[in-house]
Structure 1
């Protein structure tokens, strides 16, 4: 997946999704103790969500394809004295990271993939998520007016994250994604998804 078009989004000021603070949905998840162990931020952009989680004392790795965004994220971490790691990576080839994570957050990445691409992305996430780990997906919803680009349905999420793909959807709740172009955010789903644990044979 080439990062060039995404990188261009950061060249002339903030991208529409770069609000300069963590998404409120993930702040709430963090406040409720939803992040634990090692954390992966999938499609981290300029790092606000990753930096918020890292400020809680958790080891965090954020990846993106946009090198400009990653440079901004690293500068933020340095300026704020927060320890977090940011690397360039292909969302379809996460096994190349050579690491596994207990918690994963996806803010606005899942909904950029079409139906044919989603199985590969879901499999890639599974390859780096510990069994019993948790994935949080915040994506544009097709429910309500003033939807964001590439909105998805509850059924889309349920169809992508199936037991057969190594996942179990725990909950899908309505939420909002804050953007630079929506006064009160755009309709969103916040999905909580568990990585299925291996069953031990007797």
Structure 2
């Protein structure tokens, strides 16, 4: 899920400023993957992502921002689409590459800062954010949205699957509809086409946690 970059140095954050989530926990995102699966790593693609894929929502070149161990990206790769998964967690990326090789799938995985995606020097037709947006604070979200705009052209589509603040047994960092609407605006380069209630599967929710699935157009 996380998507900021750091080199493997004595500094667990690789010389970068820790994200708001990392500052609150005192741990880098990579730590979530070092002692077994992360809480959100179910070992399979999210049902919402599978459904979007079945409906033809992913087209052209695809970016999975905060790809984790790669299950969503690899599901998209099975469709024959070129996909790049980016994340800060090197342990997760190593697992994703091993999965791709073991399954004979063409998918690239790269350590990259989600707040500075322009450094990738590539452009994407479709972007998936599964569980990344909700981890950022307000200032990080502004940077992130501008970063996404830097790697997409007019007409691109962004899918955001994030924890919702509506319903019982909420996930961490739940997001309200007003937060989504305030973040993705035409002035920021985006227009929300649709937001529907959904679920995010985790290892600790029997039937998934309440979520929003937002379809957002690059304008």
Q: Verify same fold: TM over 0.5.
A: yes
Residue in 2 aligned with 1:139? 162
Instruction: Quote the offset at 1:131 in angstroms.
Output: 1.1
TM-score by length of 1: 0.95
Alignment of 1:99-138 (within 5 A): 99-138=122-161
Tell me how many residue pairs correspond in the alignment.
Answer: 196
Are 1:31 and 2:51 an aligned pair? no
User: Any gaps of 5 or more consecutive residues in structure 2?
Assistant: 7-11, 13-27
Choose from 179, 182, 186 the match for 1:163: 186
Secondary structure (helix, strand or coil) at the match of 1:133 reads: strand
The CA distance in 1 between the partners of 2:64 and 2:152, in whole Å, is 12
Instruction: Quote the offset at 1:193 in angstroms.
Output: 0.0
Where do 4+ consecutive residues of structure 1 move more than 2 Å?
A: 1-4
The CA distance in 1 between the partners of 2:63 and 2:173, in whole Å, is 23
Secondary structure (helix, strand or coil) at the match of 1:174 reads: strand
Instruction: Quote the offset at 1:2 in angstroms.
Output: 5.9
Residue in 2 aligned with 1:199? none
Q: Which moved more, 1:37-46 or 1:126-135?
A: 126-135
The CA distance in 2 between the partners of 1:130 and 1:46, in whole Å, is 27
Secondary structure (helix, strand or coil) at the match of 2:115 reads: coil
The CA distance in 1 between the partners of 2:51 and 2:5, in whole Å, is 32
Secondary structure (helix, strand or coil) at the match of 2:110 reads: strand
Instruction: Quote the offset at 1:22 in angstroms.
Output: 0.2
Which digits, 9 at most, give the CA deviation of each residue in 1:113-151, with x for residues without a partner? 011211110000010012100000000000011000000
Are 1:97 and 2:120 an aligned pair? yes
Choose from 206, 212, 215 the match for 1:183: 206
> Quick check: 2:5–2:112 contact (8 Å CA) kept in 1?
no
Q: CA RMSD in A?
A: 0.8
